[in-house]
């Protein structure tokens, strides 16, 4: 028994874009004397594909727009970081400029400091060379003797330099550093005589303290100076 469906007539305009299809399993050849069943067709395959692509692009574009709207740009992030850096630098107070008397003191002390820095480095390298290369106590003594004389003389020179009251602490700290370097050199010479390692240990302790004192003085008087140790 066949059931017929009534389909309202369509005009030529109304049927544009639709195709004539055959229900799967039925064909004019299989139904004797019957025409192919007419149904409203689906849009073509390319039309469906194009619609899907457009919808996908619209979704991606929308998501990207939301991401851009919520995420700050690289330029904005860099600008914020630069602003924060400037603000931090503004908080850090710069050291006050030296007065005329302090400048003269710094200039006088620099004459000693320039050579003291080189001699301190030379004494440290002499100790390192002994431990890593030579193991020659006489060679060590030959290197240390002129350095010991320099630091004893430097201690006398620094004591004679006139310092303003505002620099009394700095002056005393530098004088102590020269005394420590001189004593460290003396300890190294004692080691060269009797090979007692305790002299080297004491020399190293004094060298570290003297180096710290010199660095503190340099931060006050010559803040831009290269610090080799």
Residue-wise pLDDT for 157-179, tens only, equals: 999 999 999 999 999 999 999 99
10, part of any domain: no
Check pLDDT > 90 for residue 22.
no
Domains held by the chain: number: 2
36 and 122, same domain (yes or no) = no
> Tokens 């998501």 — which residue?
63
CA distance 143 to 120: 12
CB crowding 45-55: b at 16 or more within 10 Å, else e: eeeeeeeeeee
Q: Which of 20-24, 161-165, 225-229 has the lowest mean pLDDT?
A: 20-24
65 and 109, same domain (yes or no) = no
Q: What is the mean pLDDT of residues 217-222?
A: 94
12, part of any domain: no
Under a CB-based contact definition with an 8 Å cutoff, are residues 170 and 217 in contact? yes
Using the 3D structure, point to which of 28, 55, 73 is the last residue of a domain: 73
Neighbours of 126 (CB within 10 A): 19
* Whether pTM exceeds 0.75: no
Check pLDDT > 50 for residue 126.
yes
215, part of any domain: yes
69 and 126, same domain (yes or no) = no
pLDDT tens digits along 46-91: 454 455 545 555 555 554 444 444 545 544 555 565 555 444 444 4
167 and 211, same domain (yes or no) = yes
Q: Which domain holds residue 187?
A: 100-221
Per-residue DSSP letter, 165: G
169 and 122, same domain (yes or no) = yes
Grade residue 224 by pLDDT with cuts at 50, 70 and 90.
confident
Under a CB-based contact definition with an 8 Å cutoff, are residues 174 and 218 in contact? no
215 and 118, same domain (yes or no) = yes
30 and 116, same domain (yes or no) = no
208 and 127, same domain (yes or no) = yes
Under a CB-based contact definition with an 8 Å cutoff, are residues 109 and 161 in contact? yes
User: What does 159-212 look like in DSSP terms, one character per residue?
Assistant: HHS---GGGHHHHHHHHHHHHHHHHHHHHHHHHHHH--HHHHHHHHHHHHHHHH
105 and 202, same domain (yes or no) = yes
């Amino acid at each position: 028994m066949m059931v017929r469906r009534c389909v309202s007539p369509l005009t030529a305009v109304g049927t544009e874009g639709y195709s004539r299809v055959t229900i799967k399993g039925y064909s004019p050849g299989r139904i004797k004397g019957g025409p192919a069943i007419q149904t409203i067709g689906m849009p073509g395959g390319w039309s469906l594909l194009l619609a899907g692509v457009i919808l996908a692009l619209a979704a991606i574009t929308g998501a990207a727009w939301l991401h851009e709207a919520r995420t700050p740009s690289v330029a904005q992030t860099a600008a914020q970081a630069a602003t924060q850096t400037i603000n931090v630098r503004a908080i850090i107070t710069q050291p006050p400029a030296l007065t005329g008397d302090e400048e003269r003191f710094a200039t006088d002390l620099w004459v000693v400091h320039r050579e003291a820095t080189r001699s301190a480095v030379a004494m440290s390298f002499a100790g390192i060379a002994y431990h890593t290369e030579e193991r020659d106590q006489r060679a060590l003594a030959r290197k240390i003797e002129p350095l010991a004389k320099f630091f004893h003389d430097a201690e006398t020179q620094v004591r004679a330099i006139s310092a303003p009251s505002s620099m009394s602490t700095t002056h005393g700290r530098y004088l102590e550093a020269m005394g420590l370097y001189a004593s460290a050199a003396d300890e190294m010479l004692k080691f060269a005589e009797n090979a007692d390692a305790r002299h080297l240990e004491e020399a190293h302790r004094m060298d570290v303290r003297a180096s710290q004192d010199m660095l503190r003085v340099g931060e006050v008087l010559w803040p831009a100076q290269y610090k080799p140790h």
